A and B are shown apart, each in its own frame.
Chain A
Amino acid sequence: GQNIDQPTEMTATEGAIVQINCTYQTSGFNGLFWYQQHAGEAPTFLSYNVLDGLEEKGRFSSFLSRSKGYSYLLLKELQMKDSASYLCAVKDSNYQLIWGAGTKLIIKP
């Protein structure tokens, strides 16, 4: 079967750095996505990785290792508004998105 694993919940301090991990086992791979979802709202796109390595975009970076079936989202200089759920999703061989359950990130002052 297809599976996306990420921690259920993480807590971090304002101004600090946090890394959210995602491991996947899917039938084929056509890219990995990270989305941010605030409670009661739709997800918003953060990043897309299809090749190994690190993609940096402002305070957010995303890393991919296809051989390990592993990705992480790195958030720097955390702000209170970063409190949200972070969803990892993989596009499989049928170009269908397989979603992780999301990681709820709690930011404390």
Chain B
Amino acid sequence: GAVVSQHPSRVICKSGTSVKIECRSLDFQATTMFWYRQFPKQSLMLMATSNEGSKATYEQGVEKDKFLINHASLTLSTLTVTSAHPEDSSFYICSARNEDSNTEAFFGQGTRLTVV
């Protein structure tokens, strides 16, 4: 089946620094990728929709200048958390849509971000 690889799986960074998370579709081309954030014991919250070759679409309340998304190729989208703060600590998950499949998506492994 389709595989989505997300890296890193876990990262600890100092407050004020930036962190880049990569999401790759390994065996299919993904024109659309999704970035979610999940706080403990809460549901997945869509942050933004990443479109290859164009600007990402951000959900209401998500700061586009803080969460930079780049989808430069059909197999790679990146999320950069800029000037991270402790409140940004969360589980970030990407998913990629396989246009040939009815399933939404295949998810990456997730990235546990801890800002200290």
A residues whose Cβ falls under 8 Å from a Cβ of B? 31, 33, 40-45, 48, 50, 87, 89, 91, 96-97, 99-102
Q: Establish whether residues B43 and A87, one from each chain, have CB atoms under 8 Å apart when the complex forms.
A: yes
Contacts of B93 in A (CB 8 A): 42-43
Contact among A44, A50, A96, A100 for B107, CB-based, below 8 A = A44
Task: Knowing A40-B112, A42-B110, say if A33 contacts B104 (CB, 8 Å).
Answer: yes
Q: Please list the 4 inter-chain residue pairs (A to B) with the smallest Cβ-Cβ separation, ordered nearest first.
A: A42-B107, A101-B43, A42-B110, A99-B44
Q: Kindly state the separation between the CA atoms of A89 and B45 in the bound complex, as whole angstroms.
A: 12
Contact assessment for B104 and A97 in the assembled complex, using a CB-CB cutoff below 8 Å: yes
Smallest beta-carbon distance A100→chain B, Å: 6
Distance in Å: Cβ of A91 to nearest Cβ of chain B? 7
| Binary CB contact string for chain B from 89 to 116 against chain A (1 if under 8 A, 0 otherwise) | 0010100000000111111111010000
Chain B contacts of A40 at CB under 8 A? Answer: 91, 110, 112
Docked-complex contact A42 and B104, CB < 8 angstroms: no
Known A-B contacts A33-B103, A89-B104, A91-B104; the reply to A41 vs B44 at CB < 8 A is no
A101 to B42, CA, bound (A): 6
- The verdict on A96 contacting B43 (CB below 8 Å), with A42-B110, A45-B106 known, is no
Tell me the total A-B contact number using a CB cutoff of 8 A.
Answer: 43
Q: For this complex, into which size category does the number of interface residues on chain B fall?
A: 20 to 34
Given contacts A42-B110, A99-B43, A99-B44, could you give 12 more A-B pairs where the C-beta distance is less than 8 Å? A33-B103, A33-B104, A40-B110, A42-B6, A42-B108, A45-B104, A45-B105, A50-B102, A87-B44, A96-B46, A97-B34, A101-B43
Q: Complex formed: what's the CA distance from A96 to B95 in Å? A: 13
Interface centre among B6, B44, B93, B108 (most CB of A within 10 A): B44
Q: Which of A33, A40, A89, A91 neighbours the largest number of chain B CB atoms within 10 Å of its CB?
A: A40
